[in-house]
């Protein structure tokens, strides 16, 4: 569940902190009070396509932080693992939008893409609007319904395990290739240094002879 929402310099909001409690939380107000801005800010930190106009007038950047409390079996953990991100009981999402439209996202203090945020958002919330149920529009929701109808839980678990193993192997391969490149660069440097020493061909005791020659 959403436990905390922190908004800075977004639209008309200078600084706003909201703490939510277990159970039903209700925010009420007349039209124009800013209720939709809270949804815009929450949607932004969950990967919605943010616009530069979201930044408050006069500010260089806007920032939204959302803290979610996750159970041990929450589906968000699988997404974090697939993305190579650390998992914890609390999920901290932070996203920054600069005035020129550049966006930066963090998941548990690690850089993450908007795609990862959107994947997490499917497991964290569902928006029921006046004219739509947004969750019905998500392809991930369609797949979940189809997989449930096909009773494919076992195949899904095996596929996820294989995907995580393949992702881990790719990360290990990338790290090994990077290390190999470093060693090859070091080898090239050492070979060049040895060649320079061979070309120089120093001899024992030549310091004194060279000094005398220079003088």
pLDDT the model gives residue 100: 83
144's tokens = 């979940």
49 in any annotated domain: yes
* Same structural domain, 59 and 117: yes
* Same structural domain, 37 and 101: yes
CA neighbor of 56 nearest in space, from 12, 97, 96? 12
* Same structural domain, 42 and 77: yes
Round to whole Å and give the CA distance between 71 and 88. Answer: 9
Round to whole Å and give the CA distance between 37 and 189. Answer: 57
214 in any annotated domain: no
What is the dihedral sign for C-alpha 118, 121, 122, 128? negative
* Domain of residue 55, CATH code: 3.40.50.300
Round to whole Å and give the CA distance between 103 and 75. Answer: 26
* Same structural domain, 109 and 161: no
Residues with Cβ within 8 Å of 107's Cβ and at least 6 positions away in sequence, in order, are: 80, 83, 85, 91, 92, 93, 116, 117, 120
* Same structural domain, 23 and 107: yes
* Same structural domain, 36 and 65: yes
Domain limits for position 162: 152-199
213 in any annotated domain: no
SS3 per residue for the chain: CEEEEEEEEECCEEEEEEECCCCCCCCCCCCCCCHHHHHHHHHHHCCCCCCHHHECCCCCEEEEEEEEECCCCCCHHHHHHHCCCCCCCEEEEEEEEECCCCEEEEECCEEECHHHHHHHHHHHCCCECCCCEHHHHCHHHHHHHHHHHCCCHHHHHHHHHHHHHHHHHHHHHHHHHHHHHHHHHHHHHHHHHHHHHHHHCCCCCHHHHHHHHHC
* Same structural domain, 120 and 180: no
* Same structural domain, 104 and 193: no
207 in any annotated domain: no
208 in any annotated domain: no
Q: What is the pTM of this model?
A: 0.60
The parts of the chain modelled with pLDDT lower than 70 are 49-52, 129-138, 140
141's tokens = 């929701």
Name the domain count of the chain.
2
pLDDT the model gives residue 67: 95
pLDDT the model gives residue 57: 85
pLDDT the model gives residue 182: 95
* Same structural domain, 111 and 165: no
Round to whole Å and give the CA distance between 44 and 47. Answer: 5
211 in any annotated domain: no
pLDDT the model gives residue 134: 58
pLDDT the model gives residue 131: 55
* Same structural domain, 129 and 23: yes
């Amino acid at each position: 569940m959403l436990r905390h929402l922190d908004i800075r310099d977004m639209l008309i909001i200078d600084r706003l902190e909201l703490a939510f409690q277990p159970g039903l939380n209700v925010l009420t107000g007349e039209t124009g009070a800013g209720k939709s801005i809270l949804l815009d800010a929450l949607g932004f930190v969950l990967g919605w396509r943010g616009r530069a106009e979201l930044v408050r007038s006069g500010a260089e950047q806007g920032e939204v932080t959302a803290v979610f409390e996750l159970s041990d079996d929450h589906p968000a953990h699988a997404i974090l693992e697939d993305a190579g991100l650390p998992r914890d009981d609390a999920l901290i999402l932070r996203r920054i939008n600069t005035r020129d439209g550049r966006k930066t996202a963090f998941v548990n203090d690690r850089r993450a893409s908007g795609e990862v945020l959107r994947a997490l958002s499917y497991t964290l919330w569902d928006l029921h609007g006046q004219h739509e149920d947004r969750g019905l529009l998500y392809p991930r929701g369609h797949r979940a319904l189809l997989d449930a109808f096909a009773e494919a839980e076992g195949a899904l678990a095996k596929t996820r395990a294989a995907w995580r193993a393949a992702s881990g192997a790719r990360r290990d391969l990338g790290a090994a290739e990077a290390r190999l490149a470093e060693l090859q660069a070091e080898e090239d440097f050492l070979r060049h240094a040895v060649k320079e020493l061979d070309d120089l061909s120093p001899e024992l005791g030549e310091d004194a002879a060279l000094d005398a020659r220079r003088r």
